[in-house]
């Protein structure tokens, strides 16, 4: 078994590493029960290093969005020296990372549901510096009422709509200042503004991606400037999506960048042009359970319950079906995709229009399938089976959290 190399981590001892290896039960890619979620440690660490270096070059904080990983073990690879700033998409994630990893600097980057206020306040009472997201005065007033009498309260990020992709206020919306005033009047602290260039997921041209990154930056900075001109403190200017974070040319005025799927990447990110196939760090291990040569099919035990129903590449230049098929070590097989997915059956076939020959893959052959959307595929599984590069050995099993 190859040594399980980690970056220098003060909180991770040799005993911890040995326990992780022991917990893997001596499994290999040939003995794991399938379907199983596999994480290539070498690829993930390379992805982490890439974006960290980019953000260091801009002098801004990287606040990773852990909605993709949902794993304290992955978080420790991102912050090897100890807990750092993170983003979450559910309060269950915030509670998990605070409880299991001691993370206290957390941004909850989804519009605040007023009924979630008691949980947010309970989290703050444990010492977590929680920032919540909202875009209406009503949300601010509701949170203020719930927080009345509490010593520890969440601070507030106002969501900015930079591209019409989802919620938030456009930078010049007159209601922006009204929402800020409602936050302060409710006895809450305005931490700053937050935006997400979700429309960047529909792009694939480097210049267009760079332009989207600049629009994202300019929108957030413009909103912050308006709030400051109205007399409000706005210390945090937060932007981020995986595509824009990799194509930004300038981050002047931005204090932090949030990105999530960058740690694993996936076929959608490849189709956008953010990564190479060799950068995709997660895959689903599956086993051939039948063949139908007359139909051009190979049947495997990974259906949509293992891959998810996400068809995010269907509108891209290259449609990857339900996932790109690779050999057991992650090398893509010519034009082979999961063409159809039933609940527990995947149907592998050649990509439409391919001139390749359907390979002879006997029953029992192990394959790995690269996902369209790492977040959606990961959500189908309880744990990562960690491997290092081309090695067969499972060197650790890292649990994933679930729920809201």
Nearest to 345 by CA among 388, 299, 311: 299
Q: How far apart are CA 343 and CA 374, in angstroms?
A: 18
Residue ranges of the chain with pLDDT lower than 50?
A: 1-22
Q: What is the pLDDT of residue 176?
A: 98
User: Which stretch of DSSP H or E encloses residue 87?
Assistant: strand 86-88
Do residues 200 and 173 touch, judged by C-beta distance below 8 A?
no
43-264 is classed in which CATH architecture? Alpha-Beta Barrel (3.20)
Phi, psi of 25 (to 5 degrees): 70, 20
| Domain spans of the chain, in order of start | 14-40+273-399, 43-264
Do residues 287 and 364 touch, judged by C-beta distance below 8 A?
yes
> Residue 289 burial (CB < 10 Å; 0-12/13-18/19+)?
middle
Could you tell me what percent of the chain has a pLDDT over 90?
93
Q: What is the pLDDT of residue 166?
A: 85
DSSP strands (E only) in 252-392: 256-257, 282-292, 297-300, 324-327, 332-341, 346-350, 366-370, 383-387
The tokens for 164 are 């019409």
Q: What is the pLDDT of residue 52?
A: 98
Question: Residue 266 in 3-state DSSP?
Answer: coil
Q: What is the pLDDT of residue 16?
A: 43
Query: Tens digit of pLDDT for each residue in 193-221?
Result: 999 999 999 999 999 999 999 999 999 99
What torsion do the CA atoms of 271, 273, 276, 280 make, to the nearest 10 degrees? -60
Q: What is the pLDDT of residue 214?
A: 98
Class of domain 14-40+273-399: mainly beta
The model carries a pTM of 0.92
Q: What is the pLDDT of residue 10?
A: 31
The tokens for 14 are 């040799």
Cis peptide before 227 (omega within 30 of 0): no
């Amino acid at each position: 078994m190859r040594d399980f190399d980690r970056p220098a981590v003060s909180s991770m001892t040799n005993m911890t590493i040995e326990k992780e290896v022991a917990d893997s039960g001596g499994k290999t890619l040939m003995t794991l029960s399938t379907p199983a979620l596999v994480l290539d440690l070498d690829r993930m660490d390379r992805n982490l290093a890439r974006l960290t270096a980019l953000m260091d070059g801009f002098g801004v904080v990287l606040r990773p969005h852990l909605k993709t990983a949902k794993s304290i073990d992955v978080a420790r690879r991102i912050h090897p020296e100890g807990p750092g700033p993170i983003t979450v998409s559910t309060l269950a994630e915030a509670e998990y990372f605070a409880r299991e990893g001691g993370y206290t600097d957390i941004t909850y980057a989804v519009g605040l549901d007023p009924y979630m206020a008691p949980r947010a306040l309970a989290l703050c009472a444990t010492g977590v510096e929680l920032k919540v997201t909202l875009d209406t005065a009503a949300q601010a007033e509701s949170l203020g009422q719930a927080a009345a009498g509490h010593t520890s309260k969440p601070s507030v990020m106002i969501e900015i709509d930079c591209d019409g992709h989802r919620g938030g206020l456009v930078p010049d919306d007159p209601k922006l200042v009204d929402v800020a005033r409602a936050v302060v009047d409710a006895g809450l602290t305005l931490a700053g503004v937050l935006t997400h260039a979700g429309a960047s997921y529909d792009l694939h041209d480097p210049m267009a991606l760079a332009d989207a990154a600049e629009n994202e930056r300019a929108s957030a900075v413009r909103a912050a400037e308006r709030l400051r001109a109205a007399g409000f403190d706005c210390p945090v200017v937060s932007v981020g999506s995986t595509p824009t974070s990799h194509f930004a040319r300038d981050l002047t005025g931005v204090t932090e960048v949030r990105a999530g799927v960058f740690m694993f990447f996936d076929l959608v990110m490849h189709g956008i042009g953010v990564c190479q196939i060799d950068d995709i760090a997660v895959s689903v291990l599956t086993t051939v359970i039948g063949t139908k040569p007359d139909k051009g099919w190979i049947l495997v035990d990974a259906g949509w319950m293992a891959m998810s129903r996400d068809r995010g590449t269907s509108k891209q230049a290259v449609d990857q079906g339900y996932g790109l098929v690779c050999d057991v070590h992650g090398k893509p097989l010519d034009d082979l995709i999961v063409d159809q997915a039933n609940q527990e059956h995947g149907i592998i076939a050649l990509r439409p229009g391919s001139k390749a020959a359907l390979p002879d893959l006997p029953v029992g052959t192990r394959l790995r399938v690269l996902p369209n959307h790492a977040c959606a595929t990961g959500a189908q599984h309880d744990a990562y089976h960690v491997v290092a590069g081309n090695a067969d050995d499972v060197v650790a099993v890292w649990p994933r959290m679930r729920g809201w």
